[in-house]
Amino acid sequence: MSENLSLSALMQEQFPQWVLGTHQYRGDETLLIKREGLLEVCRFLRDDPRTAFNFLMDLTCVDYLTFGKRLESMPTTATPSPLPYFMKPKPVTEQWERTGDRAGTIRAGDRAGNILSGEEVSAAAGPPTEEVPRAAERAAADGARLEVVYHLYSHTRTRRLRLKVPVGAADAVVDSVTGLWKAADWFEREVWDMFGVRFEGHPNLKRILMYEPFDGHPLRKDYPVNKRQPLLGPTN
Amino acid sequence: MAALTAMERGLVDVSRLSWMTTKLEAALGWARKYSIFQYPFVTACCGMEYMATACSHYDVDRFGAGFPRFSPRQADVLFVVGTVSHKLAPVLKRVYDQMVEPKWVVAFGVCTCTGGFYDNYATVMGIDTIIPVDIYIPGCPPRPENVLDGLMKLQEKMQHGVKATLPQGPSARPAELLASHRPEEHL
């Protein structure tokens, strides 16, 4: 039954050389893929009848340059985001059930809420997976500052999957999937425009939101957000 | 032999006729203010309020402004409605340049007045940095009543033939719009 198919297990079995890690959370699955294997993995996901991901829902990119280094970029249960000045902290009333071999337990390290973290869930459920290194360490490590994210959907199986491809800022090149899903065309142009990730094999990789004389990639964390490069008028 | 006009034959005293030209200008002003052919340069959310003002409930047709003209050659008022990005700025300038005199510009919504709540790499911080603006209608989006008030002020301007001529920029904005729009300064 397709509902019981664990994509993580299937992909680890099919492409052990490309899958860097997997993550499951309440039915959502994420795969971390090496960029060299992206095209092969995507072709398999689209063509194999067990997966049948015929629809690319989204293609975007994340910049982890400051992830975990600024409080507001990585709230945790221990250090939640600071509240705006007009709010008072709300008493937490949600209690989440632990299932599996941890049913009914309360961990000593939990703060109010018993919220399960992603790592705990993926450790408790599914086949054993490789440790997904924390994003901050990945970003600090060579070659993983940017991450191209693909959201796939299968109309026949009604399943979703997220693929993440870590890419370094210095040589940000990834294979283009426009040959597999036509929808990738403009999404990849947007990622090129905003983040500077080149897509090899893209038919028309040029800026789509900004204009050609614009210098730089504005959604990268090191682009000052209000630095304007006007075509007309003062820089104000 | 060319026939002499009445003026040349000394029958009409020209120096006492200046009231005619002032009356003529007043008549022209009256005609212009009650037959506004606006070019709705609508880009963003303010367009919804523009449509609301133009439609039956608030009815801009009773001011004579019921016919928009989507060609700069046929329009006399350029309503810039909604955020203008730097990518669009040359287009706006071109449309303004293609309009024929007499022409007026209305900056509709705070994004066109001062940049609005945007302060980023993409937004023009006030269209008066690119083209001269006659009327600033602040609001995000402005209420239709606010728009009609701005329209009536524009009509007064048209009556008296006053026009903005040079891009004046932030220094010529009304005092209310010069207040800082950074949220932390209002806390």
Q: What is the pLDDT of residues A202-229, one digit of tens each?
A: 999 999 999 999 999 999 988 988 888 9
- Mean pLDDT of chain A, nearest integer: 79
Answer yes or no: is A163 within a domain. yes
Query: pTM for this one?
Result: 0.73
Expressed as residue numbers, the domain containing A18 is 2-68+121-200
Strands A159-167 and A173-175: unpaired
A99 shares contact with chain B (CB less than 8 Å): no
- Shortest alpha-carbon distance between residue A50 and chain B (Å): 44
Residue A43, pLDDT score: 95
Domain count for chain A:
1
Of A32-36, A47-51, A107-111, B3-7, which range is least confident?
A107-111
CATH number of the domain that residue A57 is part of? 3.30.460.80
Residue A37, pLDDT score: 93
Contacts of B84 (CB under 8 A, 6+ apart): B43, B92, B111, B112, B123, B124, B127, B130
Residue A23, pLDDT score: 87
Q: Is the pLDDT of residue A75 over 80?
A: no
Percent of chain A with pLDDT over 70: 68
Q: B167: nearest CA in chain A?
A: A233
CA separation for the pair A228, B3 (Å, rounded):
66
Residue A123, pLDDT score: 47
The model's pLDDT over B165-174, given as tens digits with 9 standing for 90+, comes to: 555 666 667 7
Q: Is the pLDDT of residue A137 over 80?
A: no
Percent of chain A with pLDDT over 90: 47
DSSP A211: -
Asked if A211 and B122 come within 8 Å (Cβ–Cβ), the reply is no
Answer yes or no: is B186 within a domain. no
Answer yes or no: is A191 within a domain. yes
Answer yes or no: is A15 within a domain. yes
Answer yes or no: is B13 within a domain. no
Answer yes or no: is B133 within a domain. yes
Residues of B in contact with A228 (CB under 8 A): 86, 120-123, 125
Q: Following DSSP, what letter does each residue of B50-73 receive, concatenated? A: HHHHHSTTT-GGGGT-----SSTT
Expressed as residue numbers, the domain containing B67 is 36-176
Q: Is the pLDDT of residue B54 over 50?
A: yes
Mutate to test the interface with A, among B121, B123, B131, B185 (most CBs of A within 10 A): B121
Q: Is the pLDDT of residue B185 over 90?
A: no
The model's pLDDT over A161-191, given as tens digits with 9 standing for 90+, comes to: 999 999 988 889 999 999 999 999 999 999 9
Residue B179, pLDDT score: 65
Domain count for chain B:
1
Residue B24, pLDDT score: 85
For residues A127-146, average pLDDT: 54
Asked if A228 and B93 come within 8 Å (Cβ–Cβ), the reply is no
Strands (E), chain B: 38-42, 77-81, 104-108, 135-137
Answer yes or no: is B26 within a domain. no
The pLDDT confidence band at residue B83, using thresholds 50, 70 and 90, is very high
Q: Which residue has the higher pLDDT, B181 or B91?
A: B91
φ/ψ of A202, rounded to 5, equals: -75, 135
Percent of chain B with pLDDT over 70: 79
Q: B121: nearest CA in chain A?
A: A228
Answer yes or no: is B22 within a domain. no
Reading the block at residue B125, the tokens are 């911080």
Residue A125, pLDDT score: 46
* Whole-number Cα distances in Å, A63 to A66, A139, A202, B171: 8, 9, 22, 38
> Quick one: residue A184, left, alpha or beta (phi over 0 = left, psi -120 to 50 = alpha)?
alpha
Of A38-42, A94-98, A138-142, which range is least confident?
A138-142
Nearest-CB residue to A232 (from B89, B123, B125):
B89
Of A125-139, A143-157, A210-224, B22-36, which range is least confident?
A125-139
Answer yes or no: is B120 within a domain. yes
CA separation for the pair B138, B149 (Å, rounded):
11
Strands A146-154 and A55-63: antiparallel
CB A184 within 8 A of CB A178: yes
Reading the block at residue A80, the tokens are 């939640």
Answer yes or no: is A56 within a domain. yes
The model's pLDDT over B12-40, given as tens digits with 9 standing for 90+, comes to: 666 667 777 778 888 888 998 999 999 99
Residue A205, pLDDT score: 93
Q: Is the pLDDT of residue A36 over 50?
A: yes
Q: Is the pLDDT of residue A130 over 50?
A: no
> Tokens 């490069």 label which residue?
A229
Answer yes or no: is A176 within a domain. yes
The model's pLDDT over A11-28, given as tens digits with 9 standing for 90+, comes to: 989 999 999 888 888 888
Asked if B124 and A234 come within 8 Å (Cβ–Cβ), the reply is no
Q: Is the pLDDT of residue A66 over 90?
A: no
Answer yes or no: is A116 within a domain. no
Nearest-CB residue to B89 (from A209, A210, A231):
A231
Percent of chain B with pLDDT over 90: 53
> Tokens 């060579």 label which residue?
A142
Task: Please report, as a single letter, which amino acid is at residue B67.
Answer: F
For residues A141-161, average pLDDT: 87
Mutate to test the interface with B, among A220, A228, A229, A235 (most CBs of B within 10 A): A228
Asked if B89 and A233 come within 8 Å (Cβ–Cβ), the reply is yes
CATH number of the domain that residue B123 is part of? 3.40.50.12280
For residues B113-122, average pLDDT: 90
Contacts of A90 (CB under 8 A, 6+ apart): none
Residue A110, pLDDT score: 46
Residue B165, pLDDT score: 58
Q: Which of B35, B33, B65, B22 is nearest to B158 (CA)?
A: B33
CA separation for the pair A148, A166 (Å, rounded):
6
Answer yes or no: is B69 within a domain. yes
For residues B114-132, average pLDDT: 90
Answer yes or no: is A236 within a domain. no
